[in-house]
Each structure stands twice: as C-alpha cells, then as structure tokens.
Homo-oligomer: A and B are copies of this chain.
Amino acid sequence: MRLGSPFLQACRGEPVPYTPVWFMRQAGRSLPEFRAVRERHTFAEMTASAELTAEVTIQPVRRLGVDAAILFSDIVTPIASMGIEVEIQSGVGPVFAEPFRSEADLARLRVLEPATDLAPVLEAVRIAVGELKVPLIGFAGAPFTIASYLIEGGPSRDYARTKALMLGEPVLWARLLERLADITIASLRAQVGAGAAAVQVFDSWAGTLHPDHYATYVLPASTRVFAALADLDVPRIHFGVTTGELLAYFAAAGADVVGVDWRVPLDRARQRVGGRAVQGNLDPAVLGAPWPAVAAEADRVIEAAGARPGHVFNLGHGVLPGTDPDVLARLVEHVHARTAKASTPADAPENARL
C-alpha cells in the first residue's frame, strides 16, 4: 500500500494517478456513524478507548473513499494524558481547570512517556493501520497552539493572555514552547512507531500572530518539532488558518507539506512555500452550497494547484458539523475523476478504498 499511495506520493511531490483527497475533521459530527458513537460516550471516553478511537478513525475511509485516514484525537490529548485537567466541551473545545500562569506551572508538563501515557492512542493506531488500506496520518498540536489553550484556559478570540506572556516573559515562554515541542515530538514518533505513515502538526491558531512574532517566538519550537521527525522518513504536514503571511515560515520550519486555508489561492501559496507540497484548500462553508457550486469551487482549487505534482486536496479547515456526508463522498469522487490520468487498473481510485 505505502509505496503506491497517491496520498504519500503527493506529499513527496511525486507524480500521482489522481489527486488524493482527505478532509480535516472527516472523523466527526458530520457522519451519522460518528454521532452514534459520540452519543454513547464522552470525548474523553472515546480517546481512552483504542477500539472506539480506531473505529471513528476508520469510519470516513469506509464511507467517503478518502485517500488517507487521520487519527481521531485532540491537540490536548498528550498533556491530558499526563494528568493536566482538561475537558473537551462539545461545540467549544478544550477547557482547562487551571490555566498556565507562571513558571510554577511548567512542572505540570513532565516528559511524555508515550508507551504508558498514550497506550490507548498507540493501540488505536495499530488497530487502524491493521484494518486500513490507505495511510494513517498521525495527529498532534504544535507548541504555539497548545500553549494558547493552556494559557487562555480554552479557545480564545484575541489570545491576549498568550501574547502578553509571550512578549512580557519571553524566557518562560521559550521554556514552555520547548517543553510542548518535546511532548509533540514524543507523541508523533510513537504514532509513527505504531504505524502512522505521515504526520500532521496542527498549529491551528498561529495565524493570529504578526509574522515577526511568529519568527521570533514560535518558529524555533516548530523547527525543533520538524527536525526531530526528519529521520522517520514520513511526510510531515504543517497546518494553520489565517496563515497567509506565515506560509514561508511554515515551510521553513521543516514541513514537507504546507496546509493552506481558503483565504490564499493555491498558486499564490505555492510561490510562498517554495518547493514544498501544498494541502487544501476548499472553504468548508462552500459544502453547504448546491452541488454545481461545490464542483465549480473544487475545480478552481484543482486549477490553482496547477500541473506540478505535490497537491493533496483537502478543505481549508475542518469539516463543519452540519455538512452532508453525501456531498463529501461526491466531492472525493469528483476530485478523483477530474484529476485522473491515463493509468493502469491498479491505480484506479476504487482500489484505494478500504
């Protein structure tokens, strides 16, 4: 599977039989089979159960025919596993009982021991990889975005506390980000060890930063993450939203593939990331429009990506909860058909399904 995977080929900038597709949050509330699981279990129960995690990780591959699965997880799962109290609130996100405030809080972030701390996560990876015929993408948050949740205590509109700490206590900030980087590294190395064939590092909210702030206060920690994964020889994807001015830095941090939200046309994004592959970038809200509009918008993404290899089709952010799964499935078929080259039967998209 691995060598012949269009997803992995595209990540590596190699020619592909058709443009591969997956969707951020493809394992989520848009799927009835996910909601059926979610109604019976809390988020914490789901991530604590290898079977449930594997099940919802696989669901979108079965239904949608996507070219990759991504581990069902949350950005805060590794730090939650070391006893930091956090609740994933539906429709809100992670909420911390005791936000990070000062140097004393650093002690709560110990070294991650994946084999024990992430035992169910790694078992879920093994189960999913055993069942899947497409690659599994490992999942982790980037240091800035984890730090922002820890410091704000939850999702934020303005990241005021985060930025005040970053600018006001730069030494403490750097120590925090380095520690979070090491947790991310340990988590992703363990996921690859368990069978993940690629990794995606979510720096979802880094786009709230001025580029100079990103370069000074965040890029070193993100570079540390990507450098520490280089020897694994798996594609490393780097994603955030409102990152138009940061794309060159996202590439410079060491990513093989740079995720692009829908605000930047892919041809423009290609220029900013140099030779790296790109992933994206259909506006998730477009999927609520009538099908002809969805198809036209998908075609525009494909056209902007251009003929050069190195494009993984995806949304510019996660699938919205109200999205019709039939539209997602139709979109996968559409992108495959629209980009299919003359190929041997072994390359045909249907053989890439589970």
Per a CB cutoff under 8 Å, which of B162, B168, B210 touches A262?
A: B210
Interface residues of A (CB under 8 A from B): 158-164, 167-168, 207-213, 242, 244-245, 262-265, 268, 283-286, 288-290, 293, 297, 300, 320, 322
Q: Which residues from B are CB-within-8-Å of A290?
A: 167-168
Enumerate chain B residues within 8 angstroms of A167, measured Cβ to Cβ: 286, 289-290, 293, 297
Chain B residues with Cβ under 8 A from A211's Cβ? Answer: 263, 265
> How distant is the Cα of A290 from the Cα of B169 in the complex, in angstroms?
9
Residues of B within 8 A of A262 (CB): 210
The 5 closest A-B pairs by CB, nearest first: A167-B289, A164-B288, A167-B293, A163-B285, A160-B285
Contact B158 A263 (CB under 8 A): no
Verify B286–A263 contact, CB threshold 8 A.
no
Give Cα A158–Cα B322 distance, bound, in whole angstroms.
Answer: 11
Q: Chain B residue with minimal CB distance to A241?
A: B242
Q: A211-B265, A212-B300 are in contact. List 6 more A-B contacts (CB 8 A).
A: A158-B320, A160-B288, A163-B286, A167-B286, A167-B289, A245-B263
In the bound assembly, the distance between CA atoms of A213 and B211 in angstroms comes to 25
A302–chain B nearest beta-carbon distance, Å: 14
Check if A212 sits within 8 Å of B288, measured CB to CB: no
Instruction: Please judge, given known A-B contacts A212-B265, A265-B210, A290-B168, whether A160 and B322 are in contact too, CB under 8 Å.
Output: yes
Set of chain B residues within 8 Å of A162, measured between Cβ atoms: 285
Interchain CB contact under 8 A, B288 and A163: yes
Contacts of A300 in B (CB 8 A): 212
Q: Kindly list chain B residues whose C-beta atoms are within 8 Å of the C-beta of A285.
A: 158-160, 162-164
Q: How far is the CB of A287 from chain B (nearest CB, A)?
A: 8
Q: Which residue of B168, B212, B286, B288 is within 8 Å of A289 (Cβ)? A: B168
Given contacts A212-B300, A245-B244, A293-B168, contact A288 B161 (CB under 8 A): yes
A349 vs chain B, min Cβ distance (A): 26
25 of the cross-chain contacts (CB-CB < 8 Å) are A158-B320, A159-B285, A160-B285, A160-B320, A162-B285, A163-B283, A163-B285, A163-B288, A164-B285, A164-B288, A167-B286, A167-B289, A168-B289, A168-B290, A168-B293, A209-B263, A210-B262, A210-B263, A211-B263, A211-B265, A212-B300, A213-B283, A242-B242, A244-B245, A244-B263
Question: Which residue of chain B has its CB nearest to the CB of A244?
Answer: B244
Cα of A298 to Cα of B245 in the assembled complex, Å = 20
Known contacts A160-B322, A167-B297: A210-B283 contact under CB 8 Å: yes
